[in-house]
A and B are shown apart, each in its own frame.
Chain A
Amino acid sequence: MSAVPALGAERRLVEAASRLALPVALVAVFLLFSALAPGFLAAANLQSVLVNNFTLLSIVAVAMTFAVSAGGIDLSVGTAVDFASFAFVSLVLAGQPVPLALAAGLGGGAVVGLFNAVLIAGIGISPFLATLGTLFIGRSVQQLLTNGGNPVYLPPAGVPESFHLLGRGSLAGLPVPLLIAALVIALAAVILARSRFGRVVTAVGIEAEVVRYSGLPLKAHLAATYVLVALIAAVAGLVLTSTVTVYIPNSGNAFLLNAIGAAFIGTTLHRHGRPNIAGTVLGVLLLSLVANGLLMSGLNFYWQQVGTGLLIFTVLALSFASRKV
């Protein structure tokens, strides 16, 4: 009998070790690039990591985390980013007030989410295939809307002042886009971990049939999840457009793979391996630091993808290897 508590303690240790893989990797990457890449540690560089790499990806990855929590995936997050961006730009160009244009942008993203909701909750298509279809359709729609993919520029003169606040403004010394990302992260963390909706979504991801057999509306939760994912991604689209003052068709897909990577890396932080916002955010931070660090150390741009891939393997392998001990 005396071996039992010892085993329990050992298991707890192993569990803790497997959850440490992500934070340890983060610190290691930080130290590595501080040593290797001159200028990596400079305040200006670190701020640029946060604003240029982290902000938008963290919002999209947070969106993705909800889809993964519900046991699915959303390959069309980039489509929601683009649709939001397109609707926003179109209304600003048409001379509409910025708040209305922002609302339209969220609406543009919501259309993508509703479309997914119908496919997944209504018709019962698997999230992977449904959102893959949406991705393709969204791509064509954007090309049709822009004469084959021409960017829509906002002329610097024709844009109201309030527009710039969102993308380039700062509040109490902090860039507004970063503050928006922080707000999205905080709200998402509360919704996923503390709210009733988040609890049910988590249960759907773990065993959807149990949710149905418990008398809960499974389809409504699935539908709401994919609309929420698209709405959050739409926020990223709005921030993106405000920053660069241009809508480039199909540019949102650039976030897709990193968002998926971050959400799955993030699961290693959770005691039971569930998708979680804190983990996703650390995952995004890790990917952002690696991208920037590789760039700063003068490595060929194309090697960055290799670095990112190796890193994802390493974190997941460390976590699972220590779990199996």
Chain B
Amino acid sequence: MIQQSTQPIIHFQGIEKSFGGAKALSDVSLTVHRGTVHGLVGQNGAGKSTLIKLLAGLHRPDAGQVEIDGEAYDHLTPHLVESLGIHFIHQDRLLVPSFTVGEALFLGREPRIPGTPFLDRRQMQRRAQEVLQRYFGLSLPNSALISQLSTAEKQIVQITRALLDRPKILVFDEPTAALVKREADLLFTLIRRLRDEGITILYISHYLQEIEALCDVVTVLRNGRHVATKPIAETSAAEIAGLMVNRDIGDLFPIREKSPGAALLTVEGLSATGRYRNVGFTLYRGEVLGLTGLLGSGAKDVLRTLFGLETAEEGTVTVAEQAPWRASPVQAARRKLALVPEDRRRHGVALDLSVSENTTLASLPRFTRLGLVDRASEAAEADRLITRLQIKTAGREALLRTLSGGNQQKVAIAKWLSRHSDIYLLDEPTVGVDIAAKVEIYALIAELAEKGAGIIVLSSDLPELIGLTDRILIFFRGEIAREVVSDTITEDALLAEVTGSSEATRYVG
């Protein structure tokens, strides 16, 4: 058993934070003790990342305060946070790819040759090697380019950069999402060692197994509230999963006649190194099929491959009876596939095009006579879809950026309705969408399915997935780990499958 001091190092007191009308954190109080590994878990939208951004000084709390080392602050700034010895390791906080290891490690705090403005490259090299040898037993030349490193090596550079500052607190945000098992194990060993040297670790992860194996204490957030903080010895992955699940969601989902028809899309033996392995399934007419999995589970890559945005190395995708094709978005759209991408504002709609221009972008040939766009029939189509999808806009000529997130998403879907698509691939279709628009989008999905379209919904919103779909394919580390019938699975059980802690669940449940 590790010696635990009872001295608090971070204490959040009554933290409140709203974005627009949405409450991200309400009255969150939480203490992290010195020299412990403290796990932080919660579903998407539970408030984990908001809390971490508060700690990083990127957001300002609306109310409440943060105490670091006994000193109280109403808000932090990134600069202050760094001077307090708090460092963040995040896989998305990318290092500049064209920098060398040395430049990345010392960016913004380069040691200088005393009395001159020149960089002390020798000292940089020596200090970097010292840390790398001591903690990782490896040497990376300072002159290597970041872009040449593997994900794990990039993470090592990030950690080394933090360690060079002799930090008091290290925050790991989903550090294993892109690591293979062996690399993750090495990371855990390192984290335990850092803890034993007195560094406090805040560890955020979706993988409950990791939390169970690594953390001393775990805190669960749900809907922006602090649900529980427990010593890991007194809880289990199953209990944590139960605490994470949001049980109070109303009946948002339409009742739908579920009668799958003929096979519409068949995927066989799809593989791509490092992304997914041997993925196969069939989508039927009138079916809503769910895909889910953690970041890096391969579910998103498969969806993108279906639309030709990524390529598989092996396997085939067949639409109806037609022969498999060489994938490209052009070909996919021609085969009546439609993609509503997750990053709506960069990929789904063009914010500076009008509602009308966005709506007909994928179906322009239908509105073209002799190479010229027939404005009258284009306007009629835009008006028809604005009415049908109840898109709230000042008019078809309004720019997309003047619409709310939910209405932008409806336009992203309308674009494919206009193209008469048959197979809809919806990637996190209701992220950033208000509840009213959410319900309308659910109703639209049900209506499309009833009219014979096939729909694949990729979502990490588990209640949504269970409520909306007929079947769910659960991806885990690149493979379809399980297929479940949506009616027969509870949210707790689904979460356990997604996070890979199903063994624990079965034990208890």
Contact = CB atoms under 8 A, between A and B. Distances in A.
A204 to B, nearest CB: 10
Interface residues of B, number: 28
Given A215-B329, A215-B333, A216-B330, A210 B349 contact: yes
Given A199-B357, A199-B373, A203-B357, A215 B332 contact: yes
B39 interface: no
A206 B372 contact: no
Nearest to A271: B397
A215 B334 contact: yes
A293 B127 CA distance: 67
A230 B51 CA distance: 54
Nearest to B345: A207
B350 A207 contact: yes
B368 interface: yes
A168 interface: no
A216 B362 contact: yes
A211 B348 CA distance: 9
A324 interface: no
Nearest to B363: A214
Contact of B352 (A195, A206, A209, A215): A206
B415 to A, nearest CB: 6
B431 interface: no
Contacts of B399: 272
Interface in A42-75: none
B346 interface: yes
B339 interface: yes
Contacts of A211: 361
A272 B361 contact: no
Contact of B350 (A197, A210, A215): A210
Contacts of A301: none
B320 to A, nearest CB: 17
Interface in A230-284: 272
B353 interface: yes
Contacts of B419: 215
Contact of B373 (A196, A210, A217): A196
A131 B451 CA distance: 50
Nearest to A274: B352
Contact of A199 (B309, B330, B339, B364): B364
B373 A194 contact: yes
A213 B341 contact: yes
Interface string B332-367: 111000010100001111111100010001101100
Of B333, B348, B357, B373, which is in contact with the most chain A CB atoms at under 10 Å from its CB? B373
Contacts of A210: 346-350, 361
A279 B419 CA distance: 33
A145 interface: no
Contacts of B115: none
A213 B347 contact: yes
A203 B350 contact: yes
A202 B361 CA distance: 11
Contacts of B362: 214-216
Please classify the interface of chain A as helix (H, G, I), strand (E, B), loop, or mixed, using the class held by over half of its residues: helix
Nearest to A190: B372
A203 B339 CA distance: 18
B361 A194 contact: no
A206 B347 contact: no
A209 B349 CA distance: 9
Contacts of A216: 329-330, 333, 361-362
A214 B332 CA distance: 10
B21 interface: no
A195 B330 contact: no
A309 to B, nearest CB: 28
A197 B364 CA distance: 10
A207 B400 CA distance: 12
A200 interface: yes
Contacts of B137: none
B2 to A, nearest CB: 49
A207 B351 contact: yes
A206 B350 contact: yes
A215 B348 contact: no
Contacts of B339: 213
A166 to B, nearest CB: 28
A200 B330 CA distance: 14
Given A206-B353, A213-B347, A272-B399, A196 B368 contact: yes
A216 B350 CA distance: 14
Interface string A68-96: 00000000000000000000000000000
B371 interface: yes
Contacts of A196: 364-365, 368, 371-373
Interface string A170-209: 0000000000000000000010001111011011001101
A121 B18 CA distance: 44
A197 B368 CA distance: 10
A203 B347 CA distance: 12
Contacts of A213: 309, 329, 339, 341, 347-348
Interface string B366-383: 001001110000000000
Contacts of B334: 215
Nearest to B360: A199
B333 A195 contact: no
B106 to A, nearest CB: 30
A200 B364 contact: yes
Given A207-B346, A215-B334, A272 B415 contact: no
Contacts of B351: 206-207
A149 B9 CA distance: 75
A194 B371 CA distance: 9
Of B309, B330, B333, B341, which is in contact with the most chain A CB atoms at under 10 Å from its CB? B330
Contacts of B333: 214-216
A209 B346 contact: yes
A280 B106 CA distance: 48
A213 B340 CA distance: 9
A209 B304 CA distance: 14
Nearest to B361: A214
A223 to B, nearest CB: 14
A178 B329 CA distance: 44
Of B329, B348, B350, which is in contact with the most chain A CB atoms at under 10 Å from its CB? B350
B373 A195 contact: yes
Given A203-B361, A206-B353, A197 B332 contact: no
Contacts of A206: 350-353
Contacts of B309: 213
A112 B43 CA distance: 55
B414 to A, nearest CB: 12
Contacts of A195: 371-373
A215 B339 CA distance: 9
A228 to B, nearest CB: 13
Given A207-B352, A215-B334, 13 more contacts: A190-B372, A195-B371, A196-B368, A199-B357, A206-B351, A207-B351, A210-B346, A212-B329, A213-B329, A213-B347, A214-B362, A215-B362, A272-B352
9 contacts: A195-B373, A199-B364, A210-B361, A212-B329, A213-B329, A214-B329, A215-B332, A215-B334, A215-B419
Closest 8 CB pairs of A and B: A215-B333, A207-B350, A214-B362, A213-B347, A210-B350, A196-B368, A206-B352, A206-B350
